[in-house]
Every structure is written in structure tokens, then in C-alpha cells.
Structure 1
Amino acid sequence: MVKTPESVLKKQATQAKIAEQAKQACYEAKQKKRQNKKDAIAAAEKYAAEYKAADEASVANRRQAKAQGGFYVPAQPKIALIIRIRGIIGVSPKAKKIMQLFRLRQIHNATFVKLNESTIRMLRLIEPYVTYGYPTRTTIEKLIYKRGFGKLNKQRIPIADNSVIEEGVGSVGIKCCADLIHEISTVGPHFKEANNFLWPFKLTSPRGGFSNKTKLVHFLEGGEAGNRGEEINKLVKRMI
């Protein structure tokens, strides 16, 4: 009877141990993926109920104000969507710096901005070169689902799976698309981390084109630049 060399026995034991570890890692990965899917579905259902309650409360407040002969004034918007509509020619240094701060380095780039006194003042300085408004939750969802890219290790990674979001901003409790959309639309406590994780959206030229893009004409005067309020949602729909 030929005795098996000690080195061969050690090698077989090591290979068996590695195979067992790989099997266990695969099982744990499947379990984690299954649990993450359940958590994402639960989060989406919770946010859907929250959005429905908020919409119903808004309708009820309008009806109550109308019944009492008054007016219902909704809360001021907390977030703006900015789209760059002009190139680099003729841009003042101050406006160029502000657009860099807003990460609008290319034409048709779009980013979200939290509205406060300082950002509103900055927006007014770059009005001739951008158009902006107040996006609805539906618009935010479409942008993230259709044009969403995350920033991982300074690289532009498509958000094709919730694992990309968890790797990027999972440390602050944002683990799926529903969490990311909720944080952006409600301007939550971790809005800065969520917004910085999102790569600036690269939109296309709008279907039908811009009417007076080359002229420094404000939207209220028939042009394209400046604040267009809720009308930004119609423009985004043409540019996705």
C-alpha cells in the first residue's frame, strides 16, 4: 500500500477548507441579498404610504381653506433642480465659479440644490446661464431611475443595483433607491451625502429645442433662462 505524501494531504485539506469558506460566503451573500430585497420593498411601501398621507393632507387643507373662504398657501420649496443651458463663452469668472460649486461643468448638466438664503443668492447670479425650478417627486424618481449614476472612488458608476447605493451612502442609512429618492425629495438630514453621491445628470437637448437659448432672455419674458418654477418638470420630461 502506497502512503500518501504529507504535502498532498496538507494541500487537500487546504483546498477543502477554501471550498468550504467559499460555499459559506456564497450562502451568506445570497441571504444578505434576499434580506436587502425585503428591506427595500418594506422601505418603498413605507414611503408610498407617507407620500399618500401627505398628498391627502394637502388636498384636505385646500378644501378646508376654500370652505372657510380663505386660501391655502403650501410650504416653500426646499429643493431646486438646476440645468445648465449655455456653454463657456461669455461666462463671467464669478458665474463660472458658482457653476463649478454647483457641479455644472458641461452644458445640459443638471444637479439638485438645497434652497436657502445663500444658494438663492448664488442662483440669481448665474440666471443668464442656467434654468432652474422646483422638481416634483415624480421628476426626481425619473431622473434617478433613468439617468442616475453614483460616485464611487471618484468614478461614475451606473445605479443598476441597490448595492451601488449601499456601498456609496449606506453608512448614513441610505441603502436603496427608495431611500435615496426620499432623502432627496424631502431634503432629509443626509441630503448633502445623498446629493454628493449622485453624479451630475447628463441630459440631452430637449425635444423641439430651446426657443431663445442664445439670447439672454428670462423665462418670464419668453426666453429660457432663470427661474421657471413648476415648469421645470415639463422641460426635464423633454430632456430625459
Structure 2
Amino acid sequence: MKTPESVLKKQATQKKLADAAAAAAAAAEKKAAEDAKKFVANAEKYDAEYAKAQREAIDNRRKAKVDGGFFVPAQPKVALVIRIRGTIGVSPKAKKVMQLFRLRQLHNASFVRLNEATIRMLRLIEPYVTYGYPTRETIQKLIWKRGFGKINKQRIPIGDNKVIGEGLGSVGIECAADLINELYTVGPNFKAANNFLWPFKLSNPSGGFSSKTKLLHFLEGGEAGARGEEINKLVKKMI
């Protein structure tokens, strides 16, 4: 019995679709393997650059000591800002600055590129925030543990590199290592990388903030204002 032509056409179509799906799956698997190698290589490259910079800083400090001088390290380029007080009593100017820094809620945190203008703004909101200079390790922990990316205006958890590639691939940031390096070094695409990240939602630190110390500057034994590299210890308590 001869197979109807309609059945033959259907079988041909199904085979064509199956072949296309198999080819697409193979191509995707190949790309995933290539990307994995590329991302590992990128991470190793950034690690080597970071280790080199650390060694150079140590060598320069030792040389300055031997020569009887002082070694002045490069000024930090990025700050991590954490909101530690609510909305009661916030001045309109301070409220506007915190909106610009995307610190709309208590315990929100975001990265800020440091320049003359942003430093002035940080001083204006010092009673309501604390800020300092994050290490590379701190940035990494924030992204992996509390990181959410903005994809089509939706808040998507950064569970793997695909989310980063989808949001920032157009500017050459394809994996977590690229994103961390861009933020830490304040690279040319810092603004895009920072805007891709939703403000981090941190927890109340273990032991909490005292209502009295919240009102005092960090240098006076309180919690508010600039705390330099001590911000990294606080982040560990809030992640």
C-alpha cells in the first residue's frame, strides 16, 4: 500500500525539525564549552593582574621605607554605600541624593564611582549612610550571594553567567569575573555594569545597629559616615 503524500510530507517536516533541533543543541553545547574555557581564562587573567598589583604595592612600600620616604597608594576609585537609617527626618536634598544612589530602602547598598561630585554628595548624606572601599573579595561575595541583574526591567537573580551575558554582553562583560573586575577597577563600562545590578538588599548586621550609635559618625564610635576599608567587615555581618 502506497503511503499518502500528506503523511510523507509530515514525516519529512518532522525529520527536518528534529535535525534542526539536534544541530542547535550541538551548537549550544559547543558554545557553552567554549564559553566555560573563556570565562576560566578571564578569571585567571584578572587574578594574575590583581596579584601583580598587590606585589607592586608591597614592593613600593618597602622601597619607600628603605629610602626613608613614604609610599602613597592610589586613591580608591569606587565606594560601597549602605543606607543605615530610615526616612524620618531626611532632608529633601539628602533624599534626592539617596535616590540618585538608588538607596531607597533601609540596608540597601550600591556602588558609587568616586569623583569630586560624588564625594560631596556622600558627605551630604553621611548621617543616613555608611560607606567605604570594598575589596575585590567583598564585591565578589555581594554579586554571588545578593546579586540581582536587570533584564527587561525585571529583577533576575545572578545564578550563573548567562544572566550577566544577557544583560551586559553587548559591552563585553560576559561572566562574573568580567563584572567583578569592571566594578573593582572602575573600567570604561562601569556605569553600564553598575546600572545592570539592582541595589543589594542586605540584612541587619549580627548584633544589630544601636539606635544611639547610628546617629554618631564612625570616627566618634558610631556607625554613620566614611569607614574606609572597615566597610568590608560590616558587609560580612550583613550578607
TM class by smaller structure: over 0.9
Instruction: State the Cα distance separating 1:126 from its structure 2 match.
Output: 0.8
| Aligned counterparts of 1:213 and 1:11: Cα–Cα separation in 2 | 76
Q: Partners of 1:211 and 1:59 in 2: how far apart?
A: 38
- Is 1:153–2:152 an aligned residue pair? yes
- 8 Å Cα contact 1:151-1:198 kept in structure 2: yes
Partner of 1:52: 51
User: CA separation in 2, counterparts of 1:184 and 1:195?
Assistant: 7
**CA contact 1:212–1:223 (8 Å) conserved in 2:** no
Deviation at 1:216, TM superposition (A): 2.6
Query: Is residue 79 from structure 1 mapped to residue 78 from structure 2 by the alignment?
Result: yes
Q: Quick one: distance in 2 between partners of 1:169 and 1:69? A: 47
The structural deviation recorded for 1:215 is 5.0
Q: CA RMSD in A?
A: 1.1
SS of residue in 1 equivalent to 2:42: helix
Structure 1 counterpart of 2:61: 62
Task: Tell me whether 1:217 sits opposite 2:230 in the alignment.
Answer: no
One-letter identity of the residue aligned with 1:164: V
Q: Structure 1 unaligned runs (5+)?
A: none
Shift of 1:97: 1.2
CA deviation vs aligned residue, 1:77-109 (integer Å, no higher than 9, x gap): 100000000111111111111111111111000
Structure 2-normalised TM-score?
Answer: 0.97
Q: Which residue identity does 1:63 align to in structure 2?
A: R
Query: Which aligned pairs between 1:1-240 and structure 2 lie closer than 5 A?
Result: 2-212=1-211, 215-240=214-239
The one-letter amino acid of 2:191's match is K
Q: Distance in 1 between matches of 2:214 and 2:141?
A: 30
C-alpha separation in 2, matches of 1:214 and 1:98: 23
Deviations 1:129-171 (A, max 9, x none): 1111111111111111211111111111111111110000011
Q: CA deviation at 1:64?
A: 0.1
CA deviation after TM superposition for structure 1 residue 173, in Å: 0.6
Distance (whole Å) between structure 2 residues aligned to residue 102 and residue 137 of structure 1: 21
Residues 73, 214 of structure 1: alpha-carbon distance in 2 compared, 3 angstrom cutoff:
closer
User: Aligned in 2, Cα 1:203/1:213: closer, same or farther, shift over 3 Å?
Assistant: farther
Looking at structure 2, the residues matched to 216 and 161 of structure 1 have their Cα atoms a distance apart, in angstroms, of 39
Distance (Å, rounded) in 2 between the aligned partners of 1:88 and 1:32: 48
SS in 2 for 1:151: strand
Q: How many residue pairs were aligned? A: 239
Q: Give the share of equivalent positions with the same residue, in percent.
A: 73
Amino acid at match of 1:107: L
**What letter matches 2:69 in structure 1?**
G
Counterpart of 1:70, as a letter, is G
Question: What is the deviation of 1:212?
Answer: 4.2
